[in-house]
Structure 1
Amino acid sequence: MVDREPPGGVDVTTPNSARIYDYMLGGKDNFAVDRAAVAEILKVFPESREGAQANRKFLGDAVRFMARDAGIRQFVDIGAGLPTQDNVHQVAQRLVPDARVVYVDNDPVVCVHGRAILATASGVAMVQADVADGEKITVAAAETGLIDWSEPVGVLMVAMLHHVADPYDQVAKIREAMAPGSYLVVSHLSIAESRRQDTEVVNSTYTTARGRGLFPRTPEEISRFFGDFEQLDNTSFIEPAVLRRFAALGWGGLARKS
């Protein structure tokens, strides 16, 4: 693969987790250093590429449920990374053309690149904020004019909380801002004792890519992110066989605020 000219200010000498994920999904917004990082990850977790694709399917199925069956018309995707394939706004707007989506990421380069990719999309915005500052996220999302927190909203935290050491209080603040009838979607790297050494290799790669490592958690620990929200049956959104196959990689869920 021949790399295109990178956008201004983009470091192509250090792997970037958003670009790693893009390459895992078969995207084109990545560079040689990202592809080399993926090669290292695949040595210890050969199912990682399929896992990334299963994670994307989970996200899409959850958005389809919220837009089609739950009447959600506004979405906030936190830790969104680079716009890639079947983004939240594309999935939602196929069903509800006037659906509004705000993407949130803490990486300034990802945000600049993301805004360029989304420049022609309607009902979509991208803001720079970190999950560590839940208030900034809610304020910035509202300031786009696309999100009204007094109405039900779909909040997605897909494959991002495992990059944060202790995000429980921050997630709780975002849950508090959500109106009754809202939904929270979480997917997260899980930990299996039998793969701990392999996980440490992946952790080293992501520490290089983000300047911070990975914090895999058990399904019980991941469920805590939902607080007192009512969790839906996972099999409504992803096939049981897929859940079983990737149990050593990740766990996800969707829950509703009463």
Structure 2
Amino acid sequence: MATEIFPEWAPPGVDPTRPSVARVHDVLLGGTENFAVDRAVAERLRQAVPDIGELTWCNRAFVGRVVTYLVREAGVTQLIDLGSGLPTIENTHEVAQAADPSARVVYVDIDPMVQPHAEQILRENGRTAAIAVDARDVDAVLGHPAVVNLIDFSRPVGLMMIGLLHLFPDEEDPWGLVRQYMDALPSGSHLASSNMHAAATPEAQALERTLHATMGTGHFRSQEAVTRFFDGLEPVDPGVVHVPRWRTQVEGPLEPWQELLLGGVGRKP
């Protein structure tokens, strides 16, 4: 039986009786910073899509490839990771600073558990910070003292919205949110994003139903709708594709679970 997390582990503002996206994600990655309610949701997701764990790790691997590309190939050494979730392994700052020790990273997540746990990891890392801000408040994110201290907005920035935009319904205009961020960033900045794919498959339909039933969110989108997030940007090869195919050698048909996530990177001219 899994060990329960003691109440005192939860920082102020955390309700251990309600699941959170960040903590359910942590469960699926094999983490320990979660509660029984999060593990129950993860189990329902596994029942809907038995390969949901592999899908979560696939998205994590996409983050690693994106960061490696941005730092090593595009020369973007400062990153803002929106909706970053709880720290796990191969975090954005670890990948970025392995490629270039001078790289700077700011993690942004609304979940109140993220910041204190991230700060434990980052205590001796002066080039990385974590802030608890709603990613939908562009001014609060970009104007936050930690962001202003670490990010030089006269130089290109890598904006990461991986696994985030499908949390926002169309009515909230996530495309407009992306534009607000990119309009505030200089030429040469990049957007990296992934979104659940509205494929006409039993797996996609089962996962979307279960996410809405358990978390009240999870907005699957067509490839056309996901590609719209990159309007006005120069697409980085191979464009918006199923995440397992982004800058990999994967060929041939994909497994059904591998078709559940689309992603891409675009550069601001």
SS at match of 1:129: coil
Q: Give the letter aligned to residue 209 of structure 2.
A: E
- Which of the numbers 204, 214, 233 marks the counterpart of 1:205? 214
SS at match of 1:13: coil
User: Which deviates more from structure 2 when the two are superposed, residues 190-199 or residues 241-250?
Assistant: 241-250
TM-score where L is the length of structure 2: 0.86
TM-score where L is the length of structure 1: 0.90
CA contact (8 A) 2:85 2:114 kept: yes
Deviation at 1:247, TM superposition (A): 4.8
SS at match of 2:71: helix
For 1:181, the equivalent position in structure 2 comes to 188
User: Which deviates more from structure 2 when the two are superposed, residues 95-104 or residues 112-121?
Assistant: 112-121
1-structure distance, mates of 2:69, 2:39:
33
For 1:108, the equivalent position in structure 2 comes to 112
User: Which deviates more from structure 2 when the two are superposed, residues 188-197 or residues 136-145?
Assistant: 136-145
User: Which deviates more from structure 2 when the two are superposed, residues 5-14 or residues 43-52?
Assistant: 5-14
- The aligned runs of 1:147-162 (5 Å cut-off) are 147-162=151-166
SS at match of 1:186: strand
For 1:7, the equivalent position in structure 2 comes to 10
User: Which deviates more from structure 2 when the two are superposed, residues 129-138 or residues 155-164?
Assistant: 129-138
Deviation at 1:16, TM superposition (A): 1.6
2-structure distance, mates of 1:63, 1:90:
10
RMSD of aligned C-alpha atoms?
Answer: 2.1
Alpha-carbon distance change, 96 to 139 in structure 1, aligned in 2, over 3 angstroms: same
CA contact (8 A) 1:189 1:217 kept: yes
Unaligned runs of 5+ in 2: 239-244
CA contact (8 A) 2:78 2:104 kept: yes
CA contact (8 A) 1:127 1:141 kept: no
- Which of the numbers 238, 252, 261 marks the counterpart of 1:250? 261
For 2:242, the equivalent position in structure 1 comes to none
Alpha-carbon distance change, 58 to 242 in structure 1, aligned in 2, over 3 angstroms: farther
2-structure distance, mates of 1:151, 1:142:
17
2-structure distance, mates of 1:36, 1:86:
26
For 2:47, the equivalent position in structure 1 comes to 43
Could you list the per-position Cα deviations for residues 16-46 of structure 1 after superposition, in whole angstroms to 9, with x for gaps in the alignment?
2111111211222122221111110011111
User: Which deviates more from structure 2 when the two are superposed, residues 22-31 or residues 194-203?
Assistant: 194-203
CA contact (8 A) 1:54 1:242 kept: no
